[in-house]
Chain A
């Protein structure tokens, strides 16, 4: 090994991809240790377990000797990686790197290392080996770990960034050998990630010999905080690490949690509230309303082909060259070397763009390929198509771009300074909005109580599991075919046509199925590169971003700072509301202006406030790109509004229910922007549902072991549907009898997972009278279905329903007429039933003719067809993007706040919703549960932190999507389906409703538990700990 520099020992190899992604040089040689069987396995060796260094973590976790003899190590293993990684990862690999999470456990267990060196085998304490000179090659053979005595008192805690499979913030292990009610010896250790593994000898000395009953835990805690060495990183401070490790050790070894606990739980009156007549959403009680989604089995078997799964002989592989610089002028782009590389079929840059080199749903400020400057690190500069991925990657490296760096704009506030460097020539203020009504100063002057805070919300990542990608080709007839996950094929086609300078009719865009979108595939992603590469190479091309590139180049939620000042009079009536929003647009606008508008449209929630002043600004920066994300600004604003209401309730001595009831808008009133709004308002009902929720009877206050404080909170949800009044919002769809007898439902909408196909089947079957199985949805293909508008803004449900309602009658008529002609009967005597056409009024169950027979009997051009197109319903006010249709909800959360770590667990999440009749119960439920946990991530763990225009978490090892361990222990979802008589709008969308009020419900629950409202999402556990007084 010494003779082979550039070689590396490898066992499980689970860290290699991460190391290489971080830029570590790939070794010229990997020395595989996996074949050395002697290094694997666990055996009892005297009073010690000998653990071979190559024993996998999964094998250790299952080993009965480890389970019985080393419970501390067993506990540590459970918190290390996930099951599939543990199959490969070895204990030697975890330990030898020096940063593994198991090290503190092994140090506390007094493990010894058996090491092979060039001089022979040596045995030395693990702590000594960890301090070894790393220049000389050494091979860890085994660990010798003394079996824990049954009397030993031990503790293990890994503090991470989320509940499971998390990077370690700090891990703490402690073990006290007890003899005669005294601590015979103590071993305490910390480690994980940036915390260097270390024994804590000062604290150990303090404990040694102490009688168990009289350990001075307070002094021990103070000493631990001083003794533990831990540094800051981008995610947690060194101070936080020291404190939580001290808390964990003290609490885990028998001391009391730090700080004082004072009950803050407020009383909730539950008397005499009649719950509205909601449906509890679950399969067991749904009966015939529960349908298996048509795409479920194929997806679960891995059989369904996503657009990124296409593989064909001769298909090229595309890659995109990213700027890598956050802000720079392009001096030159030289692609000659890349083009000359054998195997490269095409290289494209801005020079290949025949049309307008700019796109954007609202403002076309984003170049398909940069030409004069780059505005964020993920900006596209060029793309290549090559015979395989390796060649494409090599070609990217050969493209030479010379840049002249420009000053970085990374703070939205600083971006708006007079002399700030400009991201775009027109200045950095992309959008400024505002509204004033009434006299705000007078309002606050008359207020008895005023609450003000600054709410900060995260740069949340969509985190769809299928990253952006797809394939493209030029068809024999010259049509350009582009298939890439999207949310509005018609608009993608329009934008592509504009970039390529070719008529829309010559382009076919396929956008479904997509492996998740959540707004992040609403704007163009890889389509321009795919299209240009296919056109230039003349060959089919596939291209998919890997996760790191998706993090770098993909859109995120616009981070917002919301300053909100709210006043009420002595009775609790709202008298003034002042809101100021500053949002980060990133480098390009995309739908950011609409997000800001929507946020401000929800600035007073569903409450009546006489005097209002709002101001919103959206600033360009070099912080990646932001745009549409489920909730679209409304959830951020609802977070602030619903916390303010709870805080004012405390100030005014009112119950949180009472202050809302007092200020709630009444059905039939004009909307916040003075617009007419749809009927079927159900805010009173949602209020009653929240009051009557069984969650209020569940325990709150101190947990049994004293380590957590439990609280319950809630918030109202009020979510606009549709794009609003400003943008054109055309919709439509069609039904037809297909040649094979299927009732085809043609919609230019996209199946992104939300259950579109099931909803279409449900709506069409109900409107037409056929069976769900008769209905074949045809979606997400501009070549096969009419434009229905975008699958965003909770608008799809309405479009599905309206098209079905409008076209079912003419289609049924055409079907019956055709059948009547064939059968020699009056059309009026026939009716559509499951499977075909039957005699009206007959209960024989017989079909007069099946759909299949009818279709076979008809010439292709006489197959019944009915289409409709319409504008998505809009309000009558054309300022501020006022919405017409709203959906309603109430969300309750019960949380446990850890006094050890300041972190939260969501125990219960109950969601009450009123969004009209459900097209598909399971899809509706899925939107609520999925939206709920996405919002939980927003509230607790998710933020794509950036520094110098770069992402601090480059992949899913650092960006904390909620894991299954973070999901609430219990969830319950409810739907109130009724509409006012004559309501013309049918089912409302729930795509955003499930996410609308989760953050304030959690924040209000935290306040219920602790008396403090977190005004930052994601919650900062250090802030929480400080509030609890546990950080002293």
Chain B
């Protein structure tokens, strides 16, 4: 449905250099899910209002449904699949799973992205910080409190892990 010409872009995806050619307004979420079969990021609204498609763009959370091809030239993109090798992501996921933080789970990968970037930036995030950091993510199942409990537990678990990284 593009009205725009095709362009070639090069970017880093989950640590690997990728190049592709497509319409300039092709959305990152479609590139990921349809072209590359990376379905960890989900589409919940397509207008940046639910956070299910959140990826890390140069380390910051960003909506893959809003990003278009022309915007990720030269950028570093990390999807849920790209977190598998990250130690802090593993600790975060483990803490969320232990708390049974999610139910249907469709929003979960996006919440993980938002939380990971928050806790990387602010390891001492308190409840108010966590709530503010998750304002862009909608969960319809849980009422959010299980996610908050999991996030608090993750922050606890990550602090010693980080301290261990930098003695």
Contact = CB atoms under 8 A, between A and B. Distances in A.
Q: Answer yes or no: do A and B interact.
A: yes
Interface of A: 13-14, 16-18, 21, 26-30, 32, 34, 58, 78, 81-85, 87-88, 164-165, 283, 292-293, 295-306, 309, 311, 388-390, 393-394, 462-467, 513-516, 518, 546-548, 752-755, 922-923, 925-926, 929-934, 936, 955-957, 961, 963-965, 967-968, 971
Nearest to A755: B103
Nearest to A28: B3
B120 to A, nearest CB: 13
Given A17-B65, A28-B3, A301 B109 contact: yes
Contacts of A957: 45, 47, 49
A297 B52 CA distance: 17
Contacts of A963: 135, 138
Quick one: which of A292, A302, A309 has the most chain B CB within 10 A?
Answer: A302
Q: Tell me what chain B mostly uses at the interface: helix, strand, loop, or mixed.
A: loop
Contacts of A26: 2-4, 25
Contacts of A961: 138, 140
Contacts of A16: 25, 66, 68
Contacts, number: 263
Interface in B1-22: 1-4
Quick one: which of A34, A465, A931, A936 has the most chain B CB within 10 A?
Answer: A465
19 contacts: A17-B27, A32-B70, A296-B101, A300-B93, A301-B109, A302-B42, A302-B80, A388-B34, A464-B104, A465-B42, A465-B138, A467-B44, A516-B106, A546-B43, A547-B46, A547-B47, A926-B141, A934-B143, A964-B137
B94 to A, nearest CB: 8
The 5 closest A-B pairs by CB, nearest first: A82-B136, A299-B105, A302-B40, A753-B104, A515-B106
Size category of the binding interface on chain B: 35 or more
A549 to B, nearest CB: 10
A912 B17 CA distance: 54
A295 to B, nearest CB: 7
A302 B108 contact: yes
Nearest to A17: B47
Contacts of B37: 311
B105 A515 contact: yes
Contacts of B107: 465
Nearest to A514: B104
A165 B51 CA distance: 11
Given A30-B24, A165-B136, A300 B108 contact: yes
A926 B45 contact: no
A300 B101 contact: yes
Contact of A84 (B30, B99, B136): B136
A929 B146 contact: yes
B1 A956 contact: no
Given A84-B51, A87-B61, A301-B93, A547 B70 contact: no
Q: Tell me what chain A mostly uses at the interface: helix, strand, loop, or mixed.
A: loop
Nearest to A35: B73
Given A292-B100, A515-B106, A83 B45 contact: no
Quick one: which of B49, B140, B143, B146 has the most chain A CB within 10 A?
Answer: B143
A515 B104 contact: yes
Interface of B: 1-4, 24-25, 27, 30, 33-34, 37, 39-52, 54, 57, 60-63, 65-68, 70-71, 79-81, 83-84, 93-94, 96-109, 112-114, 117-118, 131-149
B49 A13 contact: no
A21 B140 contact: no
A84 B63 contact: yes
A763 to B, nearest CB: 17
Given A300-B93, A393-B1, A964-B147, 15 more contacts: A21-B47, A28-B3, A29-B4, A88-B66, A165-B135, A299-B108, A302-B41, A302-B79, A311-B34, A466-B104, A513-B104, A547-B46, A961-B138, A967-B145, A968-B145
Nearest to A312: B37
A516 B70 contact: no
B16 to A, nearest CB: 18
A68 to B, nearest CB: 18
A85 B67 CA distance: 10
Contacts of B60: 58, 87
B42 A466 contact: yes
Contacts of B70: 30, 32
A17 B40 contact: no
A305 B38 CA distance: 11
Contacts of B61: 83-84, 87
A691 B113 CA distance: 42
B44 A547 contact: yes
Contacts of B1: 390, 393-394
Contacts of B30: 389
Nearest to B138: A961
A932 B143 contact: yes
Nearest to A937: B140
Contacts of A299: 102, 104-106, 108
B66 A14 contact: yes
A88 B58 CA distance: 11
Given A300-B97, A389-B30, A309 B39 contact: yes
Contacts of B62: 84, 87-88
A389 B43 CA distance: 15
A29 B51 CA distance: 28
A311 B34 CA distance: 7
Contacts of B97: 292, 296-297, 300
Given A752-B104, A755-B103, A926 B135 contact: no
Given A306-B106, A926-B103, A301 B84 contact: yes
Contacts of B109: 300-302
A87 B102 contact: no
Contacts of A78: 132
A963 B109 CA distance: 17
Nearest to A166: B135
B139 A465 contact: yes
